[in-house]
């Protein structure tokens, strides 16, 4: 007997999918390609995946503890705790959606000497005669002026060689990847030679298509990493591969199909055929690299936090289910350690800290915060478990940097000014809005150094009434600050900054700041010795430096020393696509950068606790 299938329609987009009896709503959203918020990867412990059942039967357990009475009256349920038992219509509220965020595809643009690994050479060879009976491959090999008599070529390319040569009257384009022939094309196709560089982030994936003949970038495209629906951080995803039989295959399949979609978009945007893409370079944190390479990441999460490989690796694209030219290859950048990956190598390569005489400090604030400090003589790195608070996750009204997100929050003398992305009515707040809100409240001692949000009757008396009125005692969230009243928000609900959000931010910024302090102490330097702080990553590019100093996310050093370097990880991936010499340099960076495991340091706990305080900003104007 066949299993029952139900049609599930998601509103407001009206998208329908068919699912088996007993599938959870969470799984069905995934089928429909709708990404909803989840920290726990759908195991029912975060309370983020709230949906409203408009029609249909279901079976649910364990939603109650995450829902207020009012939410239950409105029919809200947790998607991951609710099984589908009939055809259904389900609304996914704005607050539960993970939007495509404003993704940074630009970074430091570098000038470099073009020397791609893939070259195309057009050859016109002599036709064979009785006087010149050299074999077809010998003709090609001689034409390439190769001295060795050991040509590397896949045997199925060889099988098609005779016909290809004759079809083109003995003219052909040879494609070389390093010293291996990876293609023979009829006639002159030497102008069609492309490669893609990928930055595989925990949250976002960005691809850049380049013409390998002149190095020019032809297009860039980005997507949310679809693995996000398995959990918003690397540990949850590693856990998924450990607890599900086909978990690793599933997560690999998700990232590969996302990259394939990006490749199609890049090719369409630039009007090229993807069969002329011969090479892909990738960078990402160590876990993302493992999941993409289909390597078991299990031991990265276990003491002593070791991955399967640290070095770079090259493999055929089709072995990893990536659809470019059939003989195309993938070069995956080397890592530094279990929690400092190829993306940090790429940041170092792009920012050239490893060549600098002066001391510099680079931070890539993503779902984790990766830190590097030093100069040409010594580089030290660490990873901090900052969590995704600055990406809007685990924040009560948090959201990613997309339309409707409060990205700027300023308290003026008589009112509050906000900006949202896309100038849309506010829905929630993204990382920059979160930093602004906390910094603005901290400056006025509404949040004290220890991180407590004062109640209305504890506020400094000189504060104006409009600020007093915004402090409330919420039934569920306790003391909270109304950032936007319900009458002005898109959802009709007040948008709050809660005490829990302030604590969550303290943990995140405290982890990053503690990493900074420990790297400084290892190098034996003070704040003043650092000549530049480089902020990498999508988030880094949008934060207001003074505000970040006010909350103690960045060191209290003159603002002009803090520089944005954009998506430096993406730039690093492009650099190794365009220059094989830089692959050697990336390899040296990976080997020479010291990794500091914060968790095993006896001073970490104390430094972390001290770093959680909100400071006074001495250098803010
Ligand atoms: Fe449903 Fe976390 S509780 S995704």
**How, if at all, do strands 329-332 and 369-374 pair?**
unpaired
For atom 2 of ligand 1, which residue has the closest CA?
46
Query: What is residue 44's predicted lDDT score, i.e. its pLDDT?
Result: 83
- Is pLDDT above 50 for 103? no
Mean per-residue pLDDT, 189-208? 95
Mean of all residue pLDDT scores within the chain: 91
Contact 30/229 with Cβ under 8 angstroms?
yes
Query: What is residue 486's predicted lDDT score, i.e. its pLDDT?
Result: 95
Atom of ligand 1 nearest to the CA of 66: 3
Query: Could you give the percent of the chain with pLDDT greater than 90?
Result: 72
Query: What is residue 99's predicted lDDT score, i.e. its pLDDT?
Result: 59
Tell me the three state secondary structure of residue 487.
helix
Q: Considering only residues 105 and 131, tell me which one the structure prediction assigns the higher pLDDT.
A: 131
- Beta carbon of 47 within 6 Å of any ligand 1 atom: yes
Give CA–CA dist 381/337, Å, rounded. Answer: 9
Mean per-residue pLDDT, 389-393? 80
Which of 29, 30, 42, 60 has most ligand 1 atoms within 8 Å of CB, for mutation? 42
- Beta carbon of 533 within 6 Å of any ligand 1 atom: no
Mean per-residue pLDDT, 111-123? 90
How far is the centre of ligand 1, averaged over its atoms, from the C-alpha of 383 (Å)?
26
- Is pLDDT above 60 for 469? yes
Task: Give all domains of the chain, ordered by start, each with its CATH number.
Answer: 5-96 (3.10.20.30), 118-186 (3.10.20.880), 194-332 (3.30.420.480), 352-388+505-620 (3.30.420.40), 398-496 (no CATH)
- Is pLDDT above 60 for 147? no
- Beta carbon of 46 within 6 Å of any ligand 1 atom: yes
Among 98-107, 189-198, 269-278, 584-593, which stretch is predicted with the lowest mean pLDDT? 98-107
Backbone angles phi, psi at 230, to 5 degrees: -100, 5
Query: What is residue 438's predicted lDDT score, i.e. its pLDDT?
Result: 97
Of all residues in the chain, what percent are helix, strand and coil, respectively (each to 5)? 35, 25, 40
Taking the whole predicted model, whether its pTM rises above 0.95 is answered as: no
Query: What is residue 246's predicted lDDT score, i.e. its pLDDT?
Result: 95
- Beta carbon of 67 within 6 Å of any ligand 1 atom: no
Give CA–CA dist 529/522, Å, rounded. Answer: 13
Atom of ligand 1 nearest to the CA of 44: 3
How far is the centre of ligand 1, averaged over its atoms, from the C-alpha of 493 (Å)?
21
Condensed to tens digits (0 to 9), the pLDDT of residues 424-462 reads 999 999 999 999 999 999 999 999 999 999 999 999 889
- Beta carbon of 512 within 6 Å of any ligand 1 atom: no
Atom of ligand 1 nearest to the CA of 36: 4
Confidence grade of residue 1 (pLDDT, cut at 50, 70, 90): very low
- Beta carbon of 38 within 6 Å of any ligand 1 atom: yes
Give CA–CA dist 474/333, Å, rounded. Answer: 49
CA 485 → CA 413, 469, 607, distances in Å?
A: 18, 11, 38
Backbone angles phi, psi at 214, to 5 degrees: -130, 0
Mean per-residue pLDDT, 596-606? 92
Give CA–CA dist 277/262, Å, rounded. Answer: 13
Which of 27, 43, 229 has most ligand 1 atoms within 8 Å of CB, for mutation? 43
- Beta carbon of 48 within 6 Å of any ligand 1 atom: yes
Mean per-residue pLDDT, 77-93? 91
Condensed to tens digits (0 to 9), the pLDDT of residues 486-529 reads 999 999 999 999 999 999 999 999 999 999 999 999 999 999 99
Condensed to tens digits (0 to 9), the pLDDT of residues 402-420 reads 889 999 999 999 999 999 9
Nearest to residue 333, comparing CAs of 594, 115, 586? 586
Nearest to residue 485, comparing CAs of 504, 501, 469? 469
């Amino acid at each position: 007997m066949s299993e029952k299938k139900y049609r599930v329609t998601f509103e407001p987009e009206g998208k329908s999918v068919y699912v088996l009896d007993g599938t959870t709503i969470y799984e069905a959203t995934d089928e429909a390609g709708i990404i909803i918020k989840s920290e726990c990867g759908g195991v029912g412990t975060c309370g983020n995946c709230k949906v409203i059942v408009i029609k249909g039967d279901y079976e649910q357990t364990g939603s109650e503890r995450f829902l207020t009475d009012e939410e239950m009256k409105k029919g809200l349920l947790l998607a991951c705790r609710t099984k589908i038992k009939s055809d259904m219509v389900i609304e996914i509220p704005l607050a539960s959606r993970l939007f495509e965020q404003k993704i940074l595809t630009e970074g430091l643009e570098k000038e470099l000497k073009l020397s791609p690994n893939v070259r195309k050479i057009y050859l016109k060879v002599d036709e064979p005669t009785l006087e010149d009976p050299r074999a077809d491959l010998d003709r090609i090999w001689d034409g390439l002026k190769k001295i060795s008599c050991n040509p590397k070529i896949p045997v199925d390319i060889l099988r098609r060689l005779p016909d290809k040569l004759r079809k083109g009257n003995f003219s052909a384009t040879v494609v070389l990847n390093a010293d291996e022939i990876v293609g023979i094309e009829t006639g002159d196709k030497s102008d069609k030679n492309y490669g893609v560089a990928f930055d595989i982030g925990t949250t976002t994936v960005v691809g850049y298509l380049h013409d390998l003949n002149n190095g020019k970038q032809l297009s860039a495209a980005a997507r949310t990493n679809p693995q996000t629906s398995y959990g918003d951080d690397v540990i949850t995803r590693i856990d998924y591969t450990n607890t599900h039989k086909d978990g690793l295959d599933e997560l690999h399949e998700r990232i590969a199909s996302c990259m394939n979609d990006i490749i199609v978009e890049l090719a369409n945007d630039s009007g090229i055929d993807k069969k002329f893409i011969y090479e892909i370079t990738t960078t990402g944190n160590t876990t993302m690299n493992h999941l993409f390479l289909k390597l078991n990441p299990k031991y990265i999460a276990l003491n002593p936090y070791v991955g399967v490989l640290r070095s770079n690796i090259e493999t055929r694209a089709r072995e990893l289910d990536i659809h470019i030219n059939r003989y195309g290859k993938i070069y995956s950048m080397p890592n530094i350690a279990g929690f400092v990956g190829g993306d940090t190598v790429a940041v170092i390569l792009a920012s050239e800290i490893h060549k600098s005489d002066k001391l510099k400090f680079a931070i890539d604030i993503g779902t984790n915060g990766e830190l590097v400090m030093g100069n040409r003589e010594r580089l030290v790195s660490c990873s901090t478990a900052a969590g995704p608070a600055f990406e809007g996750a685990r924040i009560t009204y948090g959201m990613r940097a997309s339309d409707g997100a409060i990205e700027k929050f300023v308290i003026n003398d008589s009112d509050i000014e906000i900006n949202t992305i896309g100038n849309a009515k506010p829905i929630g707040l993204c990382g920059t809005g979160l930093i602004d809100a906390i910094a603005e409240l901290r400056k006025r001692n509404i949040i004290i150094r220890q991180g407590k949000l004062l109640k209305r009757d504890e506020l400094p008396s000189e504060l104006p009434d409009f600020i007093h009125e915004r402090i409330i005692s919420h039934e569920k969230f306790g003391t909270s600050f109304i950032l936007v009243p319900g009458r002005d928000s898109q959802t009709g609900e007040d948008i709050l900054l809660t005490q829990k959000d302030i604590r969550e931010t303290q943990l995140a910024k405290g982890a990053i700041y503690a990493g900074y302090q420990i790297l400084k102490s290892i190098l034996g330097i003070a704040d003043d010795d650092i000549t530049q702080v480089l902020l990498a990553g999508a988030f880094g590019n949008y934060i207001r430096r003074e505000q970040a100093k006010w909350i103690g996310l960045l060191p209290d050093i003159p603002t002009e020393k803090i520089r944005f370097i954009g998506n430096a990880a993406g730039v690093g991936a492009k650099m190794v696509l365009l220059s094989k010499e830089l692959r050697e340099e990336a390899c040296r960076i990976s080997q020479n950068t010291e990794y500091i495991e914060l968790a095993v340091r006896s001073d970490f706990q104390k430094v972390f606790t001290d770093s959680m305080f909100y400071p006074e900003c001495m250098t803010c104007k």
